[in-house]
Amino acid sequence: MSALPNCPQCNSEYTYEDRGLFICPECGNEWSADANATEETAGLVVKDSNGNLLADGDSVTVIKDLKVKGASGAIKQGTKVKNIRLVEGDHNIDCKVDGFGPMKLKSEFVKKN
């Protein structure tokens, strides 16, 4: 996570990235990442329902039934999802779910295995 820049205002190293913005938790400063950086997920902070950090390639378990647009069924609670990829946005986990195919999930509805 050392790839993130220090806060330009207070020089804090505890900055994090959220939806294309860098945010400093110490002084509340927010500034925009450069356009290229939004393509990368290296600095993305995505946490599961327990507050554990998730990373690309992690396996997670779905913690509640999730309705899927365009599918007849729902993804059942307890479904295991392998090899997730973190992405920007509201649905911040890109993955493939057995029986459903590629889709995006919200990190708040999964827990890390």
Distance of closest approach, residue 8 Cβ to Zn ion, in angstroms? 8
Integer angstrom CA distances of residue 98 from 11, 40, 59, 82? 45, 26, 13, 9
Q: What is the rounded distance in angstroms from the CA atom of residue 37 to the CA atom of residue 18?
A: 11
Amino acid at 68: V
Q: What is the rounded distance in angstroms from the CA atom of residue 47 to the CA atom of residue 25?
A: 16
Question: Looking at beta carbons only, is 10 or 21 nearer to Zn ion?
Answer: 10
x-or-dash string of contact with Zn ion, 74-103, rule CB under 5 A: ------------------------------
At 4, which helix (H) or strand (E)? none
x-or-dash string of contact with Zn ion, 24-63, rule CB under 5 A: x-xx-x----------------------------------
> Which position among 5, 12, 61, 63 is part of the footprint of Zn ion (CB under 5 A)?
12
Phi-psi region of 101 (alpha: psi -120 to 50; beta: other; left: phi over 0): left
CA 82 to chain centre: 15
Stretch that binds Zn ion, among 23-31, 50-58, 74-82, 96-104 (CB under 5 A): 23-31
> Which position among 1, 6, 10, 77 is part of the footprint of Zn ion (CB under 5 A)?
10
Asked whether position 23 contacts Zn ion by CB under 5 A, the answer is no
Point out which residues bind Zn ion (CB under 5 A).
7, 9-10, 12, 24, 26-27, 29
